[in-house]
Amino acid sequence: MAPLPPTAPKTIADYFIRPSKRLRPSAPALAPASASLSSGSSLSPEQRRRADTNLALARARRNLRLAESKASGGAGKLEELLVEETWLEALSGELCKPYALELCRFVAHERLHSPVPVYPPPHLVFHALHTTPFNRVKAVIIGQDPYHGPGQAMGLSFSVPEGIKIPSSLVNIFKELQKDLGCTVPSHGNLERWAVQGVLMLNTVLTVREHQANSHAKKGWEQFTDAVIKTISQKKSGIVFLLWGNSAQAKIRLIDETKHHILKSAHPSGLSANRGFFGCRHFSQTNQILERLGLSAIDWQL
């Protein structure tokens, strides 16, 4: 993949201060990866899938570097940290609404004045949107707020960085994957490989104080992530929504059930996994739906 040109990246201001313009192609990864492979290529379907995933992973890494550069100093402006152009266009105007501006001020104040750290670090707040561009979304897994222990939160629902102990909910997710598809239980809990294949790992609240669950609830994040879900529902079709637990299932009201596929079960937490999460077979069902739609299945093996 050719390196991206060293042009100054667009920020939210470019989309929200001036009238919105249609995106010009700025990176090959915006197109389906298969488009970058010649039609006469001798690559096998599996090689094409891996190439597509690697291209998407490279784009996610680029987005991460851009977000890191904007968050230098540890307290970057929240409204400037979303850098994935497909989401900037899809959500045009959202972070300039009054509720979002107040949310930005709240998070900035928390990072500067909270007596405890705020997670995840600034450059990972929008990591879900940076690893799964709007044009690549095929499935959505909705979580709640980020993990609130040191080093756990990485901006993807249920996911933790490599080297961090796997939380109980994710342990149960891996158990179900093993029963459903025969996947080997991995030694880590980093779910980025799912995200770059088109699984949007979206929490409903994107920041939290250390050791204080729900400390940033009802500050505006729910309205923002509701807008993400509604945008997907309105502008796309055939998306598989995996809704685990009551909080996630409350989002059904945002989804057009005539256009999309909804899979419901209990939450995978230790308290409820035995009440319907185990045995739900959502991973194989997701792949069956995607294949019926003519889309590539998700490789759930990490």
Give the active site residues: 145
Q: Smallest Cα–Cα separation from 11: which of 62, 56, 72, 78?
A: 78
Q: How far is CA 163 from CA 64, 145, 159, 247, in A?
A: 19, 21, 12, 29
Residue 208, beta-bridge partner list? 119
**How far out from the chain centre does Cα 240 lie?**
14
Spatial distance between the Cα atoms of 175 and 178, rounded to a whole number of angstroms:
5
Cis peptide before 120 (omega within 30 of 0): yes
Q: Count each helix (H run) and each strand (E run) in the chain, helices first.
A: 10, 6
Q: Could you identify the residue written with the tokens 């001020």?
A: 105
Residue 262, beta-bridge partner list? 241
DSSP class per residue in 69-110: HHTTTS---GGG----HHHHHHTTTGGGSHHHHHHHHHHHHH
Tokens of 69: 């550069």
Within 8 A by CB and 6+ apart from 45, the residues are none
Within 8 A by CB and 6+ apart from 88, the residues are 10, 12, 14, 15, 82
